[in-house]
Chains A and B, each alone.
Chain A
Amino acid sequence: MTHTATVAPAPRQRSRSAPTRVRGRAWGFGALGLVLLAVLWEAYKLLGPADGLVIGDIRVLPRTSDLAMPHIWETAGRLFEPVTRAEGARVLWLEITIAASLTLGIAAAGWVVGVTVGIVLALAMQRWNLAESAVLPWIILSQTVPLIAFAPVVKSWGSRIEIGAFEWQDWMSVAVIASYLAFFPVAVGALKGFQSPDRLHLELMRSYSVGWWQTMRYLRLPAAVPYLLPALRLAAANAVVGAVVAEVSTGLQGGIGRLVIQYAGQASGDPAKAWAPILGAIALGLIAAGSVALMGALARNYRRTEDAS
């Protein structure tokens, strides 16, 4: 087929170096942001008013004392000292890592439950218009319930559940609350994704005389991937926030949320220590969002568009 050459230009060579360069630059900017934040922190600490800035009764700028704002290097150095002066106490970063792992596990469980619920809701809303108009407002309303008020209720409901050998654990309450925050972006994103195929593709499936399920599997679900990926990432970040907050408000021991409260109580004697679990929580969020980004890299083909090059 010699004519091919004149009909179409030679297939485009996909350059590998361009995306790598872009990714490298993204990391560079990320690192630059961290450095900038550190510089700002130290600059304010050096130049800001010692007692902060108070307008009326409201302190709009924080105090710059070592108690309120320990030096970056003090916070970093503190990570490598023992948690307490007691004999055999763990080094602080290890204690934080252990607590963060527990929270990450709970958040992951909440994420899985939330994603499942979100996708099932989206499937139902796509399948039945009535379900969409009946359920969607409640889904949106659900996110206006204050989590702090809601968490103890879940815990007290959970503590009454006992089915045979199964007994409700406190961490499950935390996971449920994490899933409560995680399902929302997934339900909304997946629904939008399922509804994204254009008429042409839907009619093509109709011409193949296939039913709802095959249309979902072969057309709507793959078409929803570009909508699902950001939703899953948002859900991951939400699950971490939900888990940390729920640990605090249900009083679950051993997680990073508990440490935030516990170390904050010791801040007057050891200000640098209070920042350690906060750094841990930030790292958690990054790990959670990063894992989803990794999944996105695997689904690369589903982010192609139909446009000719």
Chain B
Amino acid sequence: MTDAVTVTAVDKVFEAAAGQVVALSGIDLAVEPGEFVSLIGPSGCGKSTLLRLIADLDTPTSGSVEVFGTSAHQARVDQKYGIAFQQAGLLPWRSVAANIALPLELHGSGGAATRERVRELIALVGLDDFGDRYPDELSGGMQQRVAIARALAKKPDLLLMDEPFGALDEMTREYMQTELLRISADTGAAVVFVTHSIPEAVYLSDRVVVMSPRPGRIEAVVPMALGSTASRADDLREDGAFFEMITAVREALHGGAPAPGPRGVDNR
């Protein structure tokens, strides 16, 4: 079976006024269909850049990025992935339902089928009764749920998420994490998830990819021995195995040595 994402020998160099900045160096990564993979690392490690390369919002300087066996560009044109950012990025003049319908409208589907799909998605993210609301009438957590529903509108087999819960308070954040596990189990989509929270990465992922900065590279790939992501629930957060995995990721982040957390990584 074709991998959802295959990144091979990717370098990314930005030309800046002060000279070249190597954002990514020698990245190799494969994500299986249905797999949940988190990218974690301190600020400047290139985790968001890597996600942008997969989304074809930027192009690698060298190496190749493939999504479901085609180029990242072709995958974007074919709408093979859905994407969500740290800010919900909803269109303020569109109601919740119309925001979720946007990707469907843009690609020509309309009418009863679209309305039915939007109803499904609203139910999936638990926003029944809010379809007619406008983004400014929603809390941050609800906005983010609309953004996730929008990303899922075209039933993509790959979901790309760039710190989608980074701007939420801790309670909402934990709730949204459990919701995301349920949603990804329901849809069977592979997820590439950028975060700088270790517990978040551990709780959500099949594998955690630990990155380090200057130049951005993959330090370690830590498999989470915590059972299938679909079976996880909030009680896992108090489980011994959960803390062991947090320790494993922490040590990988610090290059094996038990050091104080590097900048940009929080241990929430």
Contacts and interface: CB of A to CB of B under 8 A. Distances in A.
B219 to A, nearest CB: 28
A218 B93 CA distance: 10
A222 B142 CA distance: 23
Contacts of B57: 203, 206-207
B97 interface: no
A218 B175 contact: no
Interface in A209-230: 209-210, 214, 218-219, 222, 225
Given A209-B79, A301-B134, A218 B139 contact: no
A202 to B, nearest CB: 10
A161 B105 CA distance: 46
A34 B34 CA distance: 70
A3 B182 CA distance: 15
Range, interface on chain B: 35 or more
B136 A306 contact: yes
Contacts of B139: 7-9, 308-309
Contacts of B102: 208, 218
A87 interface: no
B143 interface: yes
A1 interface: yes
Contacts of A208: 79, 102-103, 106-107
A206 B172 CA distance: 29
A219 B79 contact: no
B89 A200 contact: yes
A308 B77 contact: no
B128 interface: yes
Interface string B129-157: 01001111111111100000000000000
B201 interface: no
Contacts of A301: 93, 134
B261 to A, nearest CB: 28
A282 interface: no
B128 to A, nearest CB: 7
A8 B136 CA distance: 13
Contacts of B107: 208
A269 B106 CA distance: 68
A160 to B, nearest CB: 47
Contacts of A203: 57, 85
Nearest to A206: B57
Contacts of A201: 89, 91
A17 interface: no
A207 B76 contact: yes
Nearest to A2: B126
A309 B93 contact: no
Interface in B38-79: 55, 57, 76-77, 79
A305 B92 contact: yes
Contacts of B130: 11
A21 interface: no
Nearest to A12: B137
A115 B107 CA distance: 30
B136 A214 contact: no
B83 interface: yes
Contacts of B210: none
Contact of B135 (A9, A12, A304): A304
Nearest to B145: A7
Interface in A157-214: 200-201, 203-204, 206-210, 214
27 contacts: A4-B142, A6-B171, A7-B172, A7-B175, A9-B139, A11-B137, A11-B138, A200-B85, A203-B57, A204-B83, A207-B81, A207-B83, A209-B77, A218-B91, A301-B93, A301-B134, A304-B93, A304-B135, A305-B92, A306-B89, A306-B90, A306-B136, A307-B136, A308-B136, A308-B139, A309-B136, A309-B137
Interface of B: 55, 57, 76-77, 79, 81, 83, 85, 87-93, 102-103, 105-107, 126-128, 130, 133-143, 171-172, 175
Given A8-B141, A11-B133, A209-B77, 6 more contacts: A1-B128, A9-B139, A12-B137, A200-B87, A201-B89, A309-B137
Closest A-B pairs by Cβ, 6 of them: A8-B139, A1-B126, A304-B92, A306-B92, A200-B89, A302-B93
